[in-house]
């Protein structure tokens, strides 16, 4: 018997009374303008939201928002300015320090500005190794809360996925806020 089993056996033998789980009878939060709330919460987390206008292209957005980007990685067919196909890269370390990664997200969450990204590229290293990340989601693919998000079918069937809300940041080093500590320095969510 290992130490974990000993601890669990000891707790079970303690004779604590079994109590029923509390009922989950709360009313989930709803936002009058889900899209605007998503934009505000994403910006509060350090990210940026861009609403695509009719006739606007992803290549046009990339040129406008990231004019200095030279190494652009994407598998999206509408991103013709991509210089790196992440699905053809053998070693995921080659995706570290790509200037811009452009990926597809499934949906966004208004309460915290998070976007669900299910891995649909070969190496997930692009999500965290790119200097900047652009996530494209349908404009109507927003939910109010994480309670709604975690029961969506996209979150149920995936090999790897994550919620991302803004750029990577930490403030535990000398109490100074640092962006890009273990992920992209900038995150832009395109609502299309």
146 and 113 in contact (C-beta within 8 Å)?
Answer: no
pLDDT at 173: 67
pLDDT at 184: 86
- The 10 Å Cβ neighbour count of residue 172 is 9
Write out the CATH class of domain 29-191. Answer: alpha beta
Domain range summary for the chain, segments of one domain joined by +: 29-191
Burial class of residue 126, CB neighbours in 10 A (0-12, 13-18, 19+): buried
pTM above 0.95, yes or no: no
133 and 100 in contact (C-beta within 8 Å)?
Answer: yes
Quick one: CA torsion of 129, 132, 137, 139, rounded to 10 degrees?
160
Low-confidence ranges of the chain (pLDDT < 70): 173, 180-181
């Amino acid at each position: 018997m290992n130490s974990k089993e000993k601890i669990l056996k000891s707790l079970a033998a303690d004779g604590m009374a079994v109590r029923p789980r509390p009922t989950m009878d709360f009313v989930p939060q709803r936002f009058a303008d889900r899209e605007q709330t998503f934009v505000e919460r994403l910006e509060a987390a350090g990210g940026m939201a861009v609403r695509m206008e009719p006739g606007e292209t992803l290549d046009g957005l990339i040129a406008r928002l990231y004019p200095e980007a030279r190494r652009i990685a994407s598998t999206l067919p509408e991103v013709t300015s991509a210089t790196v196909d992440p699905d053809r890269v053998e070693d995921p370390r080659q995706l570290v320090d790509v200037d811009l990664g452009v990926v597809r997200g499934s949906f966004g969450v208004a309460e915290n500005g998070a976007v669900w990204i299910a891995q649909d590229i070969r190496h997930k290293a692009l999500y965290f190794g790119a200097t900047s990340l652009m996530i494209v989601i349908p404009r109507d693919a927003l939910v109010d809360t994480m309670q709604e998000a975690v029961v969506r079918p996209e979150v149920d069937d995936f090999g790897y996925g994550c919620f991302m809300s803004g750029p990577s940041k930490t403030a535990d080093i000398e109490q100074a806020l640092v962006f890009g500590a273990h992920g992209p320095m900038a995150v832009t969510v395109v609502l299309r």
